[in-house]
Amino acid sequence: MIMVAFADWFPLLVVGSGFTTVGLLKVYGLRHNIVGGGGKPLGCRLRGSCPTWSKHLNVTMTVLFLVIGLSFLSILGWIFLTAVRR
């Protein structure tokens, strides 16, 4: 069995899952109209949208988080699939 080096897959997993998690929290916050910002608890700041930004910019940032996270997870899947085929 061919193993992928730890240094090849672990950073991709951490960054991909982190960005995807934040993106999904932002989707939840946008869906439930949670407003974040300074002086709020950490949960509201992670889930909430920025009150000084427009709705369009908040959605754009949410999509950006999801695209970055899912891209890293896709690369990780590609690395594992190519390792299995060898």
| Domain contains 55 | yes
75 within a domain of the structure (yes/no): yes
pLDDT of 3: 85
**What is the spatial distance between Cα 8 and Cα 71, in angstroms, rounded to a whole number?**
15
User: What was the pLDDT predicted at 60?
Assistant: 97
Q: List the domain range (segments joined by +) for residue 50.
A: 21-85
Q: Quick check: helix, strand or coil at residue 43? A: helix
State both tokens at 44: 């509201």
Number of domains in the chain: 1
Residue 2 forms part of a structural domain: no
pLDDT value at position 1? 64
| Domain membership flag for residue 63 | yes
DSSP H helix total and E strand total for the chain: 3, 0
60 located within any domain: yes
Q: Using only the alpha carbons of the chain, give its radius of gyration.
A: 16
5 within some domain = no
Is there a domain that residue 15 lies in?
no
pLDDT along the chain (86 residues), means of 10: 88 98 97 92 93 95 98 96 86
Q: 72 lies in a domain? A: yes
| pTM of the model as a whole | 0.90
